[in-house]
Structure 1
Amino acid sequence: MDFLIQRLPLYLDGAWVTIQLTIGGCALAFVLAMFFGIMGTIRHWLPRAISTVYVEVFRGIAALVLMFWMAFALPQLSGFRLDDMFAAILALGLNVGAYGAEVVRSSINAVPKAQVEATVALNLSWFQRMRLVVLPQAWAQMLPTFGNLVIELMKATAVVYLIGVADLTAIAQNMRESTGETVIAFIGAFVLYYLIAQVLIFGMRLLERRANRKLGRTPPRGGGMRLPFKPASAGTTQAGGI
């Protein structure tokens, strides 16, 4: 225990790097997922083809290989070296965004066709249809899978130390090499990864409840469904009763 307490600031520094990688990767993945996912639902063949190419290419490449490419191969081809942390965020965002794009596309397509046809009958523009009707319903369906992808992205940050980023795993590895305490060194990383994951899970569940509550799929916070009348208590007579 003293080992972990004495080195807690170093672990917290590594955890902060992991959190930054997770936030940056999730932000990029979300933008890419929404953009290419919506493109995949457009009727014209060209946007769908562009979306399909992005999804199939980056979903088929391992995140670690993509990370090595961004950090080591790209500088040799372009002569411009990316910051290691930015390269990691870019690789994670591109990889997870490809999975997210399929989630967005399938969620939009799952919205009942009758509601989409109703918006057309109301002469709403494509943008109005998406913003007011389609995306609010699709959003509630996306969130459970998005929650899984966020956790997977956070866990995928554990390999960024291989390109020189001093994340939580790198700190634990350095502690193991410098002290020889393998079990204790990685217990610290284990606990912090678990805590970060629980915070992310809690946040995604709050988003799910909020989205479902807006659609009327769950009762409002603080109570169950209210009845439109007050039920009569035992022993009392109702109007018109005997």
Structure 2
Amino acid sequence: MSLIYEARWVLLEGALNTIIITLAASLLAGAMAFSAGLARLSSIAAVRCIALVYIEVFRGVALLVQLFWMFFVLPFFDIHLEPITTAILAIGLCNGAYGAEIVRSAISAVPRGQREAACALNYTRLQTLWRIVVPQAIPMMLPPFGNLMIELLKVTALVSLITVHDLSFQALTLQQTTMQTAAPFTAVLVGYFLIALVITGIFRLAERRAGVGLDRGGLR
């Protein structure tokens, strides 16, 4: 325990970097998920094809390979990214591809009658999407998105392999410098668990509020 106390600022720095990467990558993943998910439902074949290629490529290649490719190969094309920027891009794009299928399936699950009712009210396709379909699809998206964000948090441990000073990197550094294993990795285990606990709580609260909104709106 004395080692954890002495290294508390180092571990806190690692925790802060992990949180920053998780939040930034989650925002990127969310943006890509909605963009690609909606594009998969487009009436334009080229748009659907582009979205499908993005989804299949980033889901079909291991995240570690994507990290290494962005970090070690892009410089050969004169594209130099900071390690933390590489981490955010790789994790965000990869998880966005998984999130796109969540968005697509949730929107597809909204009953067709809702679209037909909107059409009868002279809503445009865009109005129907954002005023009728998406508000009903969001409660269906939240549980899988919560799981996806927990997975996103856990894969941030890989960024230590490209020299990002996250929790895992700091634990490895402490282990190598002090030759103690149990204390630093136990501290990191607890750190990841606490962050995941906060994420879970936020999504459960969002699920309850989204459900109340639907009940009051008479959409269920």
**In 2, Cα distance between equivalents of 1:118 and 1:48:** 26
**In 2, Cα distance between equivalents of 1:212 and 1:41:** 25
Deviation at residue 44 of structure 1 after TM alignment = 2.6
Moved over 2 A (4+): none
* Residue of structure 2 equivalent to 1:201: 200
- The one-letter amino acid of 1:7's match is A
- The one-letter amino acid of 2:47's match is P
**In 2, Cα distance between equivalents of 1:123 and 1:68:** 51
* Residue of structure 2 equivalent to 1:10: 10
| Alignment root-mean-square deviation, CA | 1.0
**In 1, Cα distance between equivalents of 2:93 and 2:157:** 17
**In 2, Cα distance between equivalents of 1:53 and 1:195:** 36
**In 2, Cα distance between equivalents of 1:213 and 1:5:** 44
The answer to whether the aligner puts 1:158 opposite 2:146 as a matched pair is: no
Provide Cα deviations, 1:118-154, integer angstroms capped at 9, x if missing partner.
1111111122111111000110100000001101011
Q: 1:1-242 maps to which residues of 2 (within 5 A)?
A: 1-76=1-76, 78-216=77-215
- The one-letter amino acid of 2:83's match is D
**In 2, Cα distance between equivalents of 1:47 and 1:121:** 27
Deviation at residue 6 of structure 1 after TM alignment = 1.5
- Equivalent residues, number: 216
TM-score normalised by the chain length of structure 2: 0.96
TM-score normalised by the chain length of structure 1: 0.87
**In 1, Cα distance between equivalents of 2:109 and 2:78:** 45
Deviation at residue 210 of structure 1 after TM alignment = 1.1
Deviation at residue 43 of structure 1 after TM alignment = 2.5
119-128 or 139-148, which deviates more: 119-128
Runs of 5+ consecutive residues of structure 2 not aligned to the other structure: none
Q: Which has the higher contact order (CA 8 A, sep 6+)?
A: 2
Provide Cα deviations, 1:28-56, integer angstroms capped at 9, x if missing partner.
00000000101111223222111111111
* Residue of structure 2 equivalent to 1:237: none
3-state SS of the aligned residue for 1:215? helix
**In 2, Cα distance between equivalents of 1:66 and 1:8:** 32
